[in-house]
Amino acid sequence: MDANMLFIVVLVVVMGGMMWFQSKKNKERQQQVKDFRANLKPGTEVITIGQIIGKVVSVDEQYEEIVIDSEGSLLRFSFSGIAKEYERPAFVSDDEVDENGNPLPQDDAADGAADDEAQVDVDASVAQNNAEAETAEAEQTDDGKKAE
């Protein structure tokens, strides 16, 4: 009888702990949503619970209403109709991956040379170095002749 009673007590304590933990997480999530909706500013891209994407045009905190512009259409929603801030998902073209979805190797050497401003023309650099060396040699020989 003692083992059964101990099992029931442990079960009740574990279930109570789980309920308390879930309640705490739910309150935190609700507070985050409330803070997000309270901090909405014009120009922010949002997505509604109906999956409409648009930019915030105006926010009326007194009546808890928000107006968004979606492709030229002005729509008015309550704060509770806004799901979250919209983040455009990354897009990868089919030309950039193989049939298994793995990225194709990129030819970085050709692209990098065109984009890198630190790269210089090798022939011009060699010619400039040779000209500087000849000038330095000529100065040394002139200084040597003057010393004699």
Nearest to 29 by CA among 84, 86, 68: 84
By CB atoms closer than 10 A (0-12, 13-18, 19+), residue 44 is: middle
pTM for the model: 0.47
CB atoms within 10 A of CB 65: 14
Q: What would the pLDDT profile of 15-45 be if each residue is shown by its tens digit?
A: 999 999 999 999 998 898 888 888 888 988 9
pLDDT at 137: 78
